[in-house]
Amino acid sequence: MARYNRDFLVPYLRDVYYIECVGNRLNNEISEVENDIKRNNYELNHITPPQKPQMENKASYSEDGGIMVVVVAIIALVINIYIYNCINKEVTGIFETIITGIMTLFGKYTLLVIFFIINAILFWIGFSILYDVYKYNKNIKEEYKQNMNKYRQELSDFKKNYNWIVRQYQERGAALEQQRQYLAKRRKEAAELSKDLYDINIIPSRFRNIYPIAYLYDYFSTSREDDLDKIIQTMLLEKIIEQLKSVIGKMNEALENQREQIALLSESNEIAERSRMDNINHLLAIERNQEKREDYERMTVANSLVTNFILADMQRQVSDIQYRL
């Protein structure tokens, strides 16, 4: 059994958990920035002028039925003329005999009037279709003219602003690369801090990832337990991962905020920080177990390094905000 003073153990687990959170977050942020860099470079290499508009296909008089209707109307007119001739001449054939019979029943000019009406309707339909085709083609021309005017304006703006557009992409690319380098540097620093924390060797290697660390910190920070080995030996890693999978994001965010507030307090309240360090030094002095005292000393050093790591990041954020203003 390995019992540890909770004044050292809980802050240590909090620091380990914090660095795990930061490492995961930095990996995600670096991945996002690298994707932004790829997207920015792609857009920079594919800056193209506006596309010249194409006129839509005009409607065809023949294909859209206008000529066909006119042909039908002409045929109807020919038939009317033929009937008219039949009315004013002697009957010589079967067809003429039928027409004469109809005229006898309904009147001489009744049939002719009916055919004239049909003829007029056919002509009206034909010319309506022709007019619709004409109107459609006219609208296409007007729309094409408007699109061409818009295209000329956009092309003029593109040529005028091309260098500015390229410069914007280049500046954004440089800023993204600078951000990527900074995040990579912070990730390296976080990895070094993680190594220093784990090198104290009180947490077995198979438990050195965010899920078991989150569980350990939550367990010890919310209880009076001080026996780390006992709790580790009873941990079921797969079950812990399954339980924490749905809440780990919120836990990480809360822990990062908590640890950053602690760092700010340690910097802003010198009296409280001095009192805390005096208490730590006192606890170190009365610890009789040499191995544990060395572990506590390393925990204390690591705690200071993590605090400095947090404060440096916050200082950069403040500087970035001031620069933007």
Beta bridge partners of residue 227, listed in sequence order = 3
Whether the per-residue pLDDT at 322 is higher than 60: the answer is no
d(CA 243, CA 124): 79
Q: What is the mean pLDDT of residues 39-58?
A: 85
- Give me the residue spans of the domains in the chain: 6-46+203-324, 66-166
* Tens-place pLDDT, residues 115-169: 667 667 767 766 777 777 778 778 888 888 888 889 888 888 888 888 998 999 9
| Statement: residue 205 has pLDDT above 80 | yes
* Residues above pLDDT 90, as percent of the chain: 29
Q: Residue 310: what pLDDT?
A: 87
Checking if the pLDDT of 112 tops 70, the result is no
Residue 61: which H helix or E strand, with range?
none
Two tokens, residue 110: 């009744």
DSSP code per residue over 92-157: -SHHHHHHHHHHHHH-TTHHHHHHHHHHHHHHHHHHHHHHHHHHHHHHHHHHHHHHHHHHHHHHHH
Check pLDDT > 70 for residue 87. Answer: no
Mean of the pLDDT values across residues 59-87?
A: 61
Instruction: Tell me the pLDDT band of 30, cut-offs 50, 70 and 90.
Output: very high
Burial label for 263, CB within 10 Å (0-12, 13-18, 19+), is buried
pLDDT of residue 281: 76
